[in-house]
Structures are given as C-alpha cells and as structure tokens.
Amino acid sequence: MERQDANLWLQDHPEIESALVTVCDLNGMLRGTRVPVAQIGKLCDAGLRIPLAALGVDVWGEEIAQQDPLFPSREAIGRGGMIERGLLPMTWADPPAILAPMTLSCANGDPFPADPRRALEEITRRFAALGLTPVVATELEFYLVNPEPDLPEPPNSPVSGKQLHSDDVYSVDELLHFDNFLSDVFDACREQGIPADAAISENGAGQFEINMMHVPDPLRAADDAILFKQTVRGVARKHGLAATFMAKPYGALSGSGFHVHFSLIDKDGRNVFDDGGPQGTDLLWHAVAGLLHTMAECTLTFAPHENSYRRLAPGSHAPSAIAWGYENRTVAVRIPGGSHKARRIEHRVAGADANPYLVLASILGGALMGIEGKWDPAAPITGNAYDQDLPHLPLDWASAIEAFKVGAHVPAIYNPQLQRMLTACKTQELRVFNRRVTDFEYHTYLETV
C-alpha cells in the first residue's frame, strides 16, 4: 500500500487511533505490534522490522529450542511489507482499530522462505508459469461457546436465554437466534472485502459454517480465511460469546473442518477440469493423483495440533482414508456433482485449526505435482470409504510430524527451511504435551494399577 493511499484512507476514518501490524506464523496465528496511526505512512515506505524467528514460535509463543544453523535466531531481523489488501477495519474493536497484515522478507530483501504466505505465493507463481490460475473457495466451521467456563460448553440462546443442547443440523431457528452475531460477522467481512457467502447451522450444538465465494487468487482466499477467523473471534467477544476453531472441541460432537474447493482456469478463462460431462478431464485426474500421492506427507499441514487427530479418527465423520470419488462425502477428495461448467475438486481433510496458507500450499502444490508428472489416480471409490481397506492418513500427531519431516514430495512443495521450522515447532509442542498427565489418566490409573 502506498503512503498516499494510506493517508487518504485514514482521512476517511478519523476515528481510528491505532493499528495492529501483523505477520502470520506457522500455526496460522497473527503476531506483531500495535502502532499509532501516525506511523502508518512510515510503514508503507519502509516496512516494519520483525525478528524472523517470530514466525517459527510454538503455539504458546515460545521460541524453538533448535540448533539447526539455518533456523533464524532472535537476532535475525527481517522486514515486513504490507500485503495488497492494505488497511482493514476491525469494526468489532473498542476503540476502533485497523489491521495491517504484512508478509516477511529477509534483511537483504529476498522473500523469507519460511513465511507461510510466501510458500503459497511460490506455488501460485508456478501455476502462472503454466498459464493456469487456481480458483479457490473455502468452507470454515466453528463453534460458539460459553466464554466463562474453562472447558467448552454450548452457548445460551440470545433469544430464549436457554443453553443449546441438541445437534440441530441446518436449524433455521438457531440461525435466527444468533442473527445479530451473524449479521455483525457479515458486516465486518464486507468492510474487509472478505467474500462471505452462506451461513448454515452445522451438526453440533452452537456449530456454524460460513462459506466463501470462489476467487481466482489463492493468496486472497487464504488471506480471507485468516482474516475471517480473526473476525469471528472478535465479533463473538463483542456479543459476550467465544468462538473456537479447534478441530474437535467436544469429544462426542462433530469436529470443525476447513474444506477447500478449487478449479483451474487457463489464460482464456476456461475451466480446464471441464470435459463437458461428469467425469472431468485428464488434467483433473492428474491433479487428484497428486493430491492422493502427497496427502500422507502433508497431513501435518492439514492437522497441525494434538487435538486435530481426534477429528481424523476413523469413523468420526472426517476423512481418514486416502481416496477419492464422485459425490462421495466419505472420501478425502470429492468431485462434486452439478453443472460440468463448475467442475472442481473438493479437498476435505483439513481441520478449521489449520493454517490456511499451508493448507492451500499443500493442496495446490500436490495437485501441481500430479499435473506436471501426469500421474494417474487409482479408481474412484464408490460406497462408504470407512468400510473399505484403503491406505490411510497418519493417525497420530507424531506420525504426521515424521511423515512431513522425511517426506520425499515435501521439498517439491515447500522450501527446506519451512520444512525444518515446521517440523521443529511441532516436535517441541509434542514434547510439551507428552510431559503433561491428564486428569482422566489420574482418574483411571492413580489407585487402580
């Protein structure tokens, strides 16, 4: 964003006093600093000095205790530059504030290869070199919860005052009861240019899904998802609620997914997956093969946390088999029906807790490998994939970390530095979890074994 454009924007918004200048770390969390709006012009010109290691901290914000010589130290300083979105109003903030998202470069001006947004940018560039543009839409699920207890519980209806208690899927009443919250979310999305489309009441008490419209720009789609999560959490707090994008906040209720739909268009705007019929082109099949071949190695980007694997457990209504099919919601990769003109691929593996930049980089990077290699997939699955003997995703966090660390296909999608940093980050988090003994373990074993 140019200084002149920023100054004009701020002149139209005299109520704004401060800005949150942020970068997105490997966990999909925004990190940065609060600055007075008077400094925005300077940031447009020179950017913001940010330690490179800020992108590689663990989920608790702790530095990674790792000795890799290429891992950035706290002394290694990069420079953040504002992304094309410019200044974004945080309409739920009190007092009003703006968000200034940035992407990170090294001190010499080169893109920082472990910046998740840079990873997706590189995959997008590789598609452009082939004369192709990914058209992407995302679907994000989340739960509203009561903000007071330490453990999640369904919220009270703003209309009846009673706590939600049933899995009222596609409930119109639930949408109406939380209409003020949803209206504020859609208003905030409109202010930020986030193409929020439809909202539905999902399969858990207090669970909602909001879909995004297709956009011919993967970076923008990932930006939208990051900003959307921030917006939902902020608007929920404004309404006396809390919102969580945990993959599985309740053991017995549905998890929250992050489904991605994409197609590819050529320089003339033609959908290269469309063959005029229900099957799709050879290019679609190659893309599917790439997704399947790289899925196990990239599972860590789809399921990055300990809690993520509760959602991916076999039979839990989330895909665990590495398989694809037409109009089959039990497989990881689905080809939706409908008009052949909208022929596309739906990737159903990622949880709502995942980093959108890494999710899209893994999906589009895998598809690109299949297209470039002209790989062919196994036959599409018919029937219930859960009941069939199929190759499966890593079923636990440690296995997914190891698969990403040694994966033969990972370096073709990610810069080795990002691969090392994400592996180190997740290994450190796993060690912390392994040192904690849960209350349930005490209740089960303390006086029993």
Side chain identity, residue 169: V
277: pLDDT strictly greater than 60: yes
**86 pLDDT exceeds 90?**
no
- Give residue 170's pLDDT: 61
**Please, what is the Cα angle at 383 between 378 and 389, to 5 degrees?**
60
Between residues 172 and 171, which one has the greater pLDDT?
Answer: 172
Q: What is the pLDDT of residue 4?
A: 83
**pLDDT for residue 252 is more than 80:** yes
**What pLDDT, on the 0 to 100 scale, is given for residue 275?**
95
Residue type, 200: I
Q: Which helix (H) or strand (E) holds 88?
A: strand 88-90
Q: Is the pLDDT of residue 228 over 70?
A: yes
Which residues in 234-384 belong to E strands, given as ranges? 242-244, 258-265, 324-326, 333-335, 345-347
CB 216 within 8 A of CB 135: yes
pLDDT bin (cut points 50, 70, 90) of residue 45 is confident
> Is the per-residue pLDDT at 314 higher than 80?
no
Domain ranges of the chain: 3-111, 123-414
- Spatial CB neighbours of 246, under 8 Å, sequence gap ≥ 6: 143, 152, 256, 307, 352, 353
User: What integer pLDDT is reported at residue 117 of this predicted model?
Assistant: 97
Q: Average pLDDT, stretch 362-383?
A: 97
- Predicted confidence (pLDDT) at residue 167 exceeds the cutoff of 70: no
SS3 label, residue 372:
helix
CATH fold match for the domains 3-111 and 123-414: no
Confidence of residue 173 (pLDDT cuts 50, 70, 90): confident
- Looking at the structure, give the CATH architecture of the domain made up of residues 123-414: 2-Layer Sandwich (3.30)
Whole-number pLDDT of residue 158: 87
At residue 350, the 3 state secondary structure works out as coil
- Measured distance CA(42)–CA(6) in Å, rounded: 10
- Which pLDDT does position 282 carry in this prediction? 97
Please state, in angstroms and rounded to a whole number, the distance separating the CA atoms of residues 191 and 194.
Answer: 8
**pLDDT recorded at residue 258:** 98
3-111 — its CATH code? 3.10.20.70
Per-residue confidence (pLDDT) for residue 2, from 0 to 100 = 80
Q: What percent of the chain has pLDDT over 90?
A: 74
Confidence (pLDDT) at 134: 98
pLDDT tens per residue, range 118-163 = 999 999 999 999 999 999 999 999 999 999 888 899 988 888 888 8
Average of pLDDT values for 110-117? 95
| Amino acid 166: pLDDT | 67
Residue 65's pLDDT is what?
82
pLDDT above 70 covers a percentage of the chain that reads 97
The whole-number pLDDT of residue 70 equals 58
CB-based burial of residue 120 (10 Å sphere; 0-12 exposed, 13-18 middle, 19+ buried)? buried
Average pLDDT, stretch 345-349? 98
Taking alpha carbons only, the member of 7, 231, 205, 11 closest to residue 99 is 231
Residue 284 has pLDDT above 90, yes or no: yes
Q: How far apart are CA 280 and CA 320, in angstroms?
A: 24
Give the pLDDT mean for 256-274.
97
Average pLDDT, integer, range 81-87 = 90
The more confidently predicted of residues 334 and 54 is 334
Region of residue 84 (left: phi > 0; alpha: psi -120 to 50; beta: else): alpha
Is the per-residue pLDDT at 94 higher than 80?
yes
pTM: 0.95
Average pLDDT over residues 355-366: 98
How confident is the model at residue 43, as a pLDDT?
85
pLDDT at 71: 64
pLDDT band at 169 (very low <50, low <70, confident <90, very high): low
> Sorting pLDDT into bands at 50, 70 and 90, what band is 317?
confident
Give the confidence band of 67 by pLDDT, cuts at 50, 70, 90: low
What pLDDT is attached to residue 168? 65
Banded model confidence at residue 434, pLDDT cuts 50, 70, 90: very high
